Amino acid sequence: MTASSSVINNRIPAGVLVLPKSVSRRVQAAWGIVGALIMLGIWQVVAMAQVFGTAVPTVVATFAELLSLLGTSAFWSEVGITVLISLAGLTFSAVLGILLGILIGTSPVIRALSLAIFEFLKPIPPIVILPLAVMVLGPTWPMAFVLVAFGCSLAIVMQTASGVQDTDPVALSTARSYGMKALEIKTRIVLPSASPYIGTAMRVAAPTALVITVVAGLLGGAPGLGKSIYQAQAAGNTDTLFALVTVLGLLGLVFHAVSTWTEAKALHWHPSHREVSL
């Protein structure tokens, strides 16, 4: 059984009970394609049999619509705006989050002052303050930006703070006895040691930023793909609706992949990311 291959590997020479990895991975991918084709087939049959009336477009219609969307500049500008808002909000959250996190992590007083407020705000999703943001800022991109910043920065603050607190005290004392200035200690000791925490927080925050941007468009009318989805649904344009949601799925995968890859690249020097190569 491949399920227990990792254990067997330790004691029995490879190849006795376990298929060589490369073949098995290719087989897995092949089965994955088969599975995806079956799902697409089910979708096509459900659509053609009109189980849900005309609410489900066929696979063919959806992909035809998707292809024609790909040729329009309006679609690409919407994708661009969506990505831009997400990245802007993410960058702002990162800067704010890391600065605040270092502040909270190094000062017990500030930590005590802010802990209860942050702990209360952390489980509250940005959609809760969406009505307020729409009321004050209207259906604009700053509204979406504010929601992304609210939704992403808190987690980065908390993670950075716990990373800072986790700094090796010996390294800190060493730096101090070498006569490093406070700022130098922050940038050369504290920040690198907190970076895996920050990396994790950023990896989680990146897809979240995309989701929040879409929510801001869908419910608050901010520009971008979320708004297009709302319009497609309101107009009963199911082909476009399904095509746009497919695009969002792909975009989500891209955000996930890029953030995972960036984290691994940026932190390749850190022990927690080195283990794999051993």
Partner 1 sequence: MKSKLVLIILGVASPLVALGLWWSVSETSTNSFFPPLSQIMTRFSDLWLFEHFQSDVLVSMGNLFAGFLIGGLLGIVIGFVLAMVPLLRWMCEPTIHFFRGIPPVALIPIVITLIGFGSEMRIANIALAAFFPTLIAAMDGIRGIDGSLKDVCSVYRLTPTERITRVYLPAAGPQIFSGLQVSLQVSFVVMIASEMLGSSQGIGAMTLLAQQSFMSADMWAGILLLGVIGFLVNIGFEAIKSRVLSWHLGSKRLERAA
Place of tokens 């975009």: 251
Give whichever of 161 and 175 is closer to partner 1, judged by the CB atom: 161
Give whichever of 14 and 113 is closer to partner 1, judged by the CB atom: 113
Give whichever of 4 and 187 is closer to partner 1, judged by the CB atom: 4
Chain residues in the site for partner 1 (CB under 8 A): 2-4, 6-8, 27-28, 31-36, 38-39, 52, 55-56, 108-109, 111-117, 120, 123-125, 127-132, 134-136, 207, 210-211, 214-215, 218-219, 226, 229-230, 232-233, 236, 238, 241-242, 244-245, 248-253, 255-256
Supply the minimum distance, in Å, between the C-beta of residue 154 and partner 1. Answer: 13
Q: Which two tokens stand for residue 208?
A: 């979240």
Supply the minimum distance, in Å, between the C-beta of residue 232 and partner 1. Answer: 7
Give whichever of 24 and 187 is closer to partner 1, judged by the CB atom: 24
Distances, alpha carbon 193 to alpha carbons 11, 38, 209, 277, in Å:
36, 47, 25, 21
Half-sphere exposure of 102 (CA within 13 A, CB side): 18
Q: Which residues contact 241 (CB under 8 A, 6 or more apart)?
A: 229, 232, 233
Q: Which residues contact 160 (CB under 8 A, 6 or more apart)?
A: 97, 98, 100, 101, 102, 104, 105, 194, 197, 198, 201
Supply the minimum distance, in Å, between the C-beta of residue 130 and partner 1. Answer: 8
Supply the minimum distance, in Å, between the C-beta of residue 12 and partner 1. Answer: 12
Q: Ramachandran region of residue 236, left (φ > 0), alpha (ψ -120 to 50) or beta?
A: left
Supply the minimum distance, in Å, between the C-beta of residue 40 and partner 1. Answer: 9
Give whichever of 67 and 136 is closer to partner 1, judged by the CB atom: 136
Give whichever of 28 and 272 is closer to partner 1, judged by the CB atom: 28
Helix (H, G, I), strand (E, B) or coil at 266: helix
| Residues 246/66, Cβ–Cβ less than 8 Å | yes
Supply the minimum distance, in Å, between the C-beta of residue 149 and partner 1. Answer: 17
End-to-end CA distance of the chain: 25
